[in-house]
Chains A and B, each alone.
Chain A
Amino acid sequence: MVAASELRSALTVLVIAAILFIVAPAVIETYTLTVLIIYGMLALSLGLIWGFGGILCFGQAAFFGLGAYTYAISAINIGESTVPFVLGIAVPAAFAFILGAMLFYGRLSDVYLGVITLVVTLIFFKFMNSTAGPEYVIGNARLGGFNGIPGFQTLNVPGDPGSYIYDVDYYWFCVVAILIVYALVRWLLASPFGRIAVAIRENETRVELMGYDVRIRKTVLFSIGGGIAGLSGTLFANWAEIVTPGMFSLAQSAEIIIWCIVGGLGTLVGPVIGAMALAYLKFLLGQQSLVDNMMLLGLILTLSVLFLPRGIVPSLGTLLARAMPKRRRKRQHHRRPRRDAEESRGEVLDG
């Protein structure tokens, strides 16, 4: 029943996505497509923890940048890409776990979570920008301040540092990566862990009263989100062949949030589509100088908060559901989470 329809819809998405990724190089250069996929994965990471876990993280860029820097630094020191690739996922996940534990065990509310994650991102940004001097070295890798770290070993066939995976091959590598990540996340959400995570988003108190330890579950979910963001950072490092502090910037954090909001929270496909569409739009806009890029992005964010509170994909879903009334009921639990879980916090003494 539920499991079967879940499986079918997940497979449908995977097949359609695979076909699109096969066709897409006919229209857009694979080099550009690759980075769109990487951004899609980054948006997926926030879409998971925010849209399904209800964890508002303003600093997803911290894990993105951390993954990229971890990869770059360890690749320079090791000279082969397999271990750095794993570290690029594991280090941000571990960092997210520690940060998450600190936040969730302290029972900080939404707003503080947003503030602190944002501030952590800024700390990385400021620190990395100030590491231009020769004294900032990790092993053989100079951190390089605002110039970043260039010239590290990029992705190679495991065990053979001489045979690089690049260009079109790298595109396919990223395609497979995002399909796998998507499938794993779908599986996670269908598992009891995922179902409980969604329940926590809906009503934390109730889930606690059922006997689940909400804190550890949120921490683990946050860490998974950090790991996926780290993976996308690692992939980005390999694509750009340089990592810079800009990956930690406020604008980067804002963009991830914009992708999720425009694409739609509470779905996985939404943020990915939002990211790919907006990043491509930005790419196209980058080739003209009439209108400033950032101005348009900002406008998109503000307007979608005002007029498209549910994002594109869920809105389309509702339209489809209206067109096919029979399927309506099944869609109900894909309801978008409230972005604002704000309630009156005054203690009611008694009733």
Chain B
Amino acid sequence: MASILETRGLTMQFGGVTAVDNVDFKLQRNELRCLIGPNGAGKSTFFKCLTGQLKPTGGHVFIENEETTGWDPHAVSRLGIGIKTQVPSVMDGLPVRENIWLAAYRTHGRERARHATDSAIERLALRDIANTAVGRLSHGERQRVELGIVISMEPWLILLDEPAAGMTGEEVARMAEIIGELNADAAIVVVEHDMQFIRSIAKKVTVFNQGRILVEEDVDTVMNDPRVRDVYLGKKV
């Protein structure tokens, strides 16, 4: 099967620090993949190189066989990719509905934007707060608004950076459910810390350590891998 997202030798250096070191990564159509790893492992930097927020210092990124290395974020997004950043990136001064409408308008145009907005609001149970400014919402609600922005674009590839961070147990369970639903139509890459959460959604897991891929296996194998436990507990590999 052809991969829809691929990196070859992807490298990102900041001054003397190599945050992402020669990473080869492949994602299949409709796959759900989790990226895990300790703090500073390079997950988020890798993620930002995919989305165009950072320009990699070496290597290549391909999305559906098109090289997107060094593209601007808006161009990457236009390929049909929904991106959720680590800290909820939302328009705090604007109401929830406007946040989602703006995303829907880009993808669907004026005619269909309202419908897409409504259905995203429905799906994420945001109706009660649809007219509230996002800046007044709790962290978990903001996470949901950002997810609403992503799904209203109806992307075929979704990149989620820590979608469960700072959410209550109930919200996390709901998030896992939503991700499962989304996976029916789209390939998803999730960067996460929360092991419980990963266990509940993941099939295949890629473990990052010190900018490289340490292991890439199905979730149970990874959880039982002593090397993975070591890097999380801080032992030497």
Contacts and interface: CB of A to CB of B under 8 A. Distances in A.
Interface in A184-221: 192, 195-196, 198-199, 201-203, 205-214
B85 interface: yes
Contact of B93 (A329, A337, A351): A337
Contacts of B59: none
Given A205-B89, A351-B44, A199 B94 contact: yes
Contacts of B94: 198-199, 202, 333
A350 interface: yes
B86 A202 contact: no
A203 B91 contact: yes
A contacts with B: majority SS: helix
B93 A333 contact: yes
Interface residues of B, number: 44
Contact of A350 (B40, B101, B105, B133): B40
A332 interface: yes
B73 A350 contact: no
B91 A199 contact: yes
B30 interface: no
A196 B91 CA distance: 11
Contacts of A333: 93-95, 98, 133
Nearest to B131: A329
A335 interface: yes
A203 B51 CA distance: 16
B90 interface: yes
B106 A210 contact: yes
Nearest to A207: B102
Main secondary structure of the interface of B (DSSP, over half): mixed
B45 A350 contact: yes
Given A211-B74, A214-B74, A349 B42 contact: yes
A292 interface: no
Interface in B1-20: 14, 17, 19
Given A349-B19, A351-B39, A205 B133 contact: no
B72 interface: yes
B23 interface: no
B78 to A, nearest CB: 4
Nearest to A349: B19
A348 interface: yes
B76 to A, nearest CB: 8
Interface string B156-179: 000000100000000000000000
A211 B95 CA distance: 20
A349 B17 CA distance: 9
Interface of B: 14, 17, 19, 39-45, 51, 53, 72-74, 77-78, 83, 85-86, 89-95, 98-99, 101-103, 105-107, 110, 131-133, 135-136, 149, 153, 162
Q: When A and B form their complex, which 9 residue pairs have the shortest distance between CB atoms, in order from nearest?
A: A202-B91, A211-B77, A208-B73, A206-B89, A211-B78, A332-B133, A335-B93, A209-B83, A208-B74
15 contacts: A192-B105, A195-B102, A199-B91, A205-B85, A206-B91, A209-B89, A210-B106, A210-B153, A212-B106, A329-B132, A332-B136, A335-B133, A349-B40, A349-B42, A350-B44
